[in-house]
Amino acid sequence: MFKGSIVAIVTPFKNGRFDEKAYANLIEWHISKGTHGIVPCGTTGEASTLGFEEHYRVIEVAVKAANKRIPVIAGTGANATDEAIEITQKAKKLGADGALLVTPYYNKPTQEGLYRHYKAVADAVKIPIILYNVPGRTAVNMLPSTTARLAEACKNIVSIKEATGDMKQASEIIRLCGKRLTVLSGDDFTTLPLLALGGHGAISVTANVAPADSAEMYNAWERGDIAKARALHYKLEPVNAAMFIETNPIPVKTALAMMGKIKEEFRLPLCEMAKANREKLKDILKSAKIIR
């Protein structure tokens, strides 16, 4: 159901508030460049700094702007199961096509706890669900056996965003889950290797600044043009690395501001880039012809 270059879109701010106009313009730009899906309120969307009503408004604007042309997969994860259910229910009511749920963070559940958490959400809200495994952010790694168990038990769990960067783990998920789940890269540098293993695309940070190339890399792979997909992989590699010079989404929002797409504005505890890193980012974006 969910495949291709799916952008984990930033949330633009202006004078401390959600910039709805800039957000809608970004989504229109993405659609024009071939992006295959939108994820509002993910890690890159600074979901952890949004109040509940803001969170819902960001989803609502995304749904309206996309207007069913490409799927909107709302970030609805929380470290409390009841809260995750509540947010997911609201996202469904707002018209989201799916929900992306990060593994519960900070409280470090066991594999059994992860299974029960996701099953509770999937049972409570009949919306297509993407699991999101990102141990570097959450301090817990959902094992392939747990993913396979959930895929078997919950028919509306349809995909996983695998952001361990571990191709052995990704391969094991694909082996165990077969056609029950689409497996998406959560790290741009692993997108092409994951496609080679049988994956289905990425929920991407880099697509925020290079949507056409990110989408075309997937399209080229799908039509069997391996050389073109590989060339785009290597073209994007310096940009992929640049997006993590500092904590995501600081570099990507800075890049979009350099491109004139949004205001360069963050919410504490995130802040502007260090000067040296900013210059490094600018040089990479110039080399990639993303800015002049």
Which residues have a catalytic role annotated?
A: 132, 161
Structure-token pair, residue 241: 């690395």
Element (H, E) at 37: strand 37-39
Q: Kindly state the greatest CA–CA separation across the chain.
A: 51
Distance CA 203, CA 149 (A): 23
Find the helix packing angle between 144-153 and 167-177, rounded to 10°.
30
Token pair 């490094």: residue: 280
How far apart (Å, rounded) are the C-alpha atoms in residues 221 and 250?
A: 30
Count CB-CB contacts under 10 A for residue 123: 12
With vertex at residue 193, the alpha carbon angle to CA 173 and CA 162, rounded to the nearest 5 degrees, is: 40
Decide if 241 contacts 280 (C-beta within 8 A): no
Closest CA to 129 of 117, 143, 113, 137: 117
Report how far residue 126's alpha carbon sits from residue 106's, in angstroms, rounded to the nearest whole number.
27
**Residue 265, Cβ neighbours under 10 Å: how many?**
17
Looking only at the bridges linking them, the beta strands covering 129-133 and 157-162 are parallel
